[in-house]
Each structure stands twice: as C-alpha cells, then as structure tokens.
Amino acid sequence: MNCATIRFSRHAFERMFERGLSPALIEQSIATAEPIKAYPDDRPYPSVLLLAFHRQTPVHLVVARDPVTENCVVVTVYIPDAKRWHEDFKTRRDQ
C-alpha cells in the first residue's frame, strides 16, 4: 500500500506497544503487506485489512487511506488468533 504519510491512531500505538512492534516495522509492513479485505465504506476514509509477517508471526494491520492526499492512518495492529483465522491468516474461520 502506498502512503504519502503515515500516522498512527492512539489505539494503534497502544496495540503496537503491547506487542513490541515499532512504528518503523509497521511502516515497512504497510509497504509490503498483502491486502486481504477492503472496507470501502469506512469513515472518514476507506480502509483495508493487511497481512504482514514479522519473524514468521502474522500481523494484521487496519489502515485507512485518504484517496485524495494518499495520507494513511494506522487504525489498529494485532496478532491474529489462530483459533479465529484459517492457517493462511487471510480468512476467518466463522465465514
């Protein structure tokens, strides 16, 4: 995902701190992550769920992107629960 700038929500910073994930790592992950679900109706900007890996650990990132300025906001970051996601961490088990 291409972003002109990247900001972090307070929630994202809290989750990153809890999981020992640095802003630099998240910024790098955004550039290389695989989009797995789009949320075009999210407000104030459309967002996307991204899948990245850090030391072979899956990481999900929800990133909103202003379509005009291409500025991004990291909404949240979390380690997907293997009980709720299939082995590829791209599809929820309850879907």
Is the separation of the CB atoms in 58 and 34 below 8 Å? no
Compute the distance between CA of residue 42 and CA of residue 22 in angstroms, rounded to an integer: 25
Query: Given 1.10.10, 3.40.50, 2.60.40, 3.30.2310, which CATH number is that of 6-78?
Result: 3.30.2310
Picking from 42, 34, 84, 88, the residue whose alpha carbon sits closest to that of residue 61 is 34
* Average pLDDT of the residues in 43-64: 96
End-to-end CA distance of the chain: 25
Global pTM? Answer: 0.91
pLDDT in tens, 15-42: 999 999 999 999 999 999 999 999 999 9
Condensed to tens digits (0 to 9), the pLDDT of residues 69-92 reads: 999 999 999 999 999 999 999 999
Arithmetic mean of pLDDT over the chain: 94
**No. of H helices and E strands in the chain?**
2, 5
